[in-house]
Structures are given as C-alpha cells and as structure tokens.
Amino acid sequence: MPAKPVPDIVVARLPLYLRALTAMHNSGKTFTSSKEMAQWLGIGSAQIRKDLSYFGEFGKQGMGYAVADLLEKLRKILHLDREWPMVIIGAGHIGSAVAAYPGFAHRGFRVCALFDNDPAKIGTSIAGLRVYDVHDLPEYVRAHDIRLAMIAVPAEAAQAVAELAVSAGVLAILNYAPLNLALPEHVRVENIDPVLHLQHMTYYLG
C-alpha cells in the first residue's frame, strides 16, 4: 500500500502511537491532534504527521484525527486486525511471567503454549498453559501455523532453540536471552535485555 518505502524506524513508532491512541480511546476521547499526541509521547508533532503520511491521509484539516478511526487504520497497517498465536520457549521465571502477563490479549497476541526441556516442568501448567517438551516444538509450530516465538531460555541454549524454531517455520522472534542470535536474513529478531538499558543509563549517572 505505501507508495514510498517506509523506513523501519517509522514502523517502529507506529505501535507507540497505537498505545497512546488506545489510552485516549479508553478515556473517552474521540478526537486528537498531532500536537496532543506529540506532547503525550514526548516527541515532535511534525514527526507524527510525517510518519502517518507514509500510509495515507488520516486526519481532517483543522480538526485533527478521529481516535477510533486512526486506531483501526494503524491496526490494519500493523496487521493487528487478527490475533497472532505465539509460543514461549523457556518456562523459567521470565517465560512464566510473560506467559502470565495479561497485556497480550487485547493488543493482538495470544500465548498458546510453553516449551521447556526440564522433565519436572513438562506436562505441568503455567498460567493455564500447557508446558510441552521442547522436542515437540517443531511439530506444534507446524500444526498450529505459529510464526511468532518468544525465547526465554538461558543464553547457552538460546541459539539452538532459535534455530529449532526457525527450522519449523517461525518467522519472528522476541529474544529475552542476553546474546545476539545469528539467524537467516528472512527471520526478524527483536531483543529485550534489561541490563542493556540499565547500562545505558548509568553512563549519565556520573
């Protein structure tokens, strides 16, 4: 749909806009402006207008944006007009906490299973979800057409399970293990390592 190629950095901001708009929507707001959103998010209003302009003309001149309308448009753009099933690999503290997080359901995602290699965990339930043997991952991914996986295993095991997931058809990985995964070009990877953020901040704490 976009006429000009969309910079990845612009795509990365859309979920932020979505989150702000959802909050506005929940608080009963029906209209907003790039200026208001900008203040809310702590960025420039021109940036928001330019970002949105990559995808179309969503505002009404002199009025701003209809919150519900823009919400829907952004959801379509991000392919959130359907529910994405996900698996979590690693049923330790992090995997369990993520599995129990109630924030996925209303934002387009559904965790549908956990995987681990610990016999003591396999067969149990965590947050109402079954924990399977990691060896059954490929079969499960194929059977349920899973494209998204979250990796929450120790660093030593992460590369191997990532490759296992990818070989079964996973196309995007959210990686909680503190290392850089080496995977084929076509696989998208995003990393979450809280320590990286902390170390970034300590630079400024003199």
Binding site residues, DNA, CB under 7 A: 7-10, 33-35, 43-47, 49-50, 52-53, 57-65
Nearer to DNA, 46 or 105 (CB): 46
Say if CB 129 and CB 113 are below 8 A apart: yes
Write down the least CB distance from residue 133 to its own copies, Å.
22
Element (H, E) at 69: helix 67-77
Name residue, tokens 């209809």: 66
Q: Does 193 bind its own copies (CB under 8 A)?
A: yes
Contact status, residue 147 vs residue 84, Cβ threshold 8 Å = yes
Whether 153 and 136 have beta carbons less than 8 Å apart is answered as: no
Q: According to CB under 8 A, which residues from 131 to 190 bind its own copies?
A: 147-148, 150, 171-172, 174, 178-180, 182, 188, 190
In the complex, least distance from residue 177 CB atom to its own copies, rounded to whole angstroms: 10
Measured between alpha carbons, how far is 95 from 56 in angstroms, rounded to an integer?
38
Regarding 54 and contact with its own copies (CB under 8 A), the answer is no
Q: Specify the length of the chain in residues.
A: 206
* Residue among 18, 28, 64, 30 at smallest CA distance from 45: 64
Binding site for its own copies (CB under 8 A): 11-12, 14-16, 18-20, 23, 40-42, 77-80, 84, 86, 93-94, 96-98, 100-101, 103-104, 107-109, 147-148, 150, 171-172, 174, 178-180, 182, 188, 190, 192-206
